[in-house]
């Protein structure tokens, strides 16, 4: 792997584990096995490297979620597949966790890929919910954009519950709770 | 205000804004207007002071949430009051945000008040949902513990959505989406 690649991957990992504020240029260099001169040869600095890392993480998340949401089945089944997909629950969401980082939120450039990814996910879920409504699969009157926001929030908040309690069971509970509320009559 | 009080309040604020990893002893001293010697006279160190701050923040959150959940009205109305209460949405949850902090999660002592507070909230919501079921106010078959987890997750994840998009509207959408799913038939 090339040095810029190693630097980006190391930054992706460290941002996931420790956030932006908790990630020092030195820690990135150590994890990437790259020197300070090499890092500043390829990237202008930590913000520049972080932007490359966040952009890649966001694209990866979009790929994984998109595959499940574009899969076969009814609206409910596709949302269920998305919610129940295998996750590294205790690590949390590599994109969502960045929202708790004051320096990410203060930077329009760093917040943009986070906002775009979560916005894309909400939009895609809302489309699927609208399809389900159109086919009569879901409770009439449900507002797709609002329920889509609740689905994304349940996942993001499910990580908080799991990390607070030290167990993935809390994430699973939240997801099952939401699915039971969303289930078409007779399927709950 | 006494010096220990000022130190605890400054730490509460900084933990909320920047998390544990992002809060240095020096920043605490500066915000509290206290010297290094004074801080270490009253507290053994950053972990000790953070524990005092987190314990107090947790108690404050429990007080606010408890008041709404113990209020009048049906199960749905009390959960609605809790979800719609005035919040500093863009700041996120001072307790939940700590779960994204690797050093909080790695410390049993610091994680304990976070776990207890979120666990208490889930338990209280589950009791209220059970009351609603017993009175026939909510959809039969709903599992109180799971829906309670979904309610707490929606709030915690709602902050993520709001901070990602830079607007409180995303939080409101998620909460309305969840409430519409929870609403007793005819009330949605």
* B156: closest chain A residue by CA: A157
Residue A187 scores a pLDDT above 80: no
Total domains present in chain A: 1
Structural contact between residues A124 and A69, judged by C-beta atoms closer than 8 angstroms = yes
Q: Which residue has the tokens 């574009």?
A: A70
Percent of chain A with pLDDT over 70: 98
In this predicted structure, the answer to whether residue A188 has a pLDDT above a threshold of 80 is: no
Q: Do A166 and B111 touch (CB under 8 A)?
A: yes
Distances (CA, A) of B115 to A46, A130, A135, A149, B88: 33, 37, 42, 25, 22
Q: What is the CATH number of the domain that holds B173?
A: 1.10.357.10
Torsion of CA A64, A124, A181, A139, to 10 degrees: -140
% of chain B exceeding 70 in pLDDT: 98
Residue A186 pLDDT > 60: no
Q: Which of B152, B166, B177 sits opposite A150 (nearest CB)?
A: B177
B145 within some domain: yes
DSSP letter at A100 equals G
Q: What SS3 class is residue B93?
A: coil
Looking at residue B184, its pLDDT comes to: 76
Q: What does pLDDT average to over chain A?
A: 95
Average pLDDT rounded to a whole number, residues A54-73: 95
ipTM of the prediction: 0.95
> Residue B188: what pLDDT?
44
> Cα distance from B160 to chain A (closest Cα, Å)?
6
Averaged pLDDT of chain B: 95
- Residue A149: CB partners within 8 Å, gap ≥ 6? A122, B158, B161, B170, B173, B174, B177
Of B22, B157, B177, the CB nearest to A147: B177
* Domain contains A46: no
pLDDT digits (tens, 9 = 90+) for A138-156: 988 899 999 999 999 999 9
Establish if B48 belongs to a structural domain. Answer: no
Which of A33-42, A101-110, A177-186 is the least confident region? A177-186
Look at residue B86 in the predicted model and tell me its pLDDT. Answer: 87
Tens digits of pLDDT across chain B (188 residues): 899 999 999 999 999 999 999 999 999 999 999 999 999 999 999 999 999 999 999 999 999 999 999 999 999 999 999 999 989 999 999 999 999 999 999 999 999 999 999 999 999 999 999 999 999 989 888 999 999 999 999 999 999 999 999 999 999 999 999 999 999 765 54
The pLDDT value recorded for residue B19 is 95
Range of the domain at B177: 54-182
Decide if B164 contacts A108 (C-beta within 8 A). no
How far does the CA of residue B11 sit from the closest CA of chain A (Å)? 16
Interface probe, candidates B161, B171, B176, B182, chain A, greatest A C-beta count within 10 A = B161
Instruction: List pLDDT tens digits, range B127-175.
Output: 999 999 999 989 888 999 999 999 999 999 999 999 999 999 999 999 9
């Amino acid at each position: 792997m090339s040095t810029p690649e190693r630097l980006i991957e190391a930054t992706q990992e460290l941002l996931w584990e420790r956030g932006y504020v908790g990630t020092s240029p030195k820690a990135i260099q150590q994890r990437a096995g790259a020197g300070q001169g090499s890092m500043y040869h390829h990237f202008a600095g930590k913000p520049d490297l972080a932007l490359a890392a966040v952009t890649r993480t966001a694209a990866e998340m979009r790929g994984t979620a998109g595959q499940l949401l574009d899969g076969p089945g009814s609206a409910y089944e596709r949302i269920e597949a998305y919610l129940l997909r295998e996750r590294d629950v205790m690590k949390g969401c590599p994109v969502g966790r960045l929202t708790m980082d004051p320096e990410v939120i203060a930077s329009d450039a760093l917040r943009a890929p986070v906002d775009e990814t979560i916005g894309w996910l909400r939009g895609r879920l809302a489309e699927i919910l609208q399809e389900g409504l159109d086919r009569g699969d879901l409770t009439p009157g449900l507002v797709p954009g609002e329920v889509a926001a609740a689905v994304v929030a349940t996942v993001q908040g499910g990580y908080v519950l799991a990390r607070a309690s030290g167990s993935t069971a809390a994430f699973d509970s939240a997801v099952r709770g939401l699915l039971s509320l969303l289930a078409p009559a007779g399927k709950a």
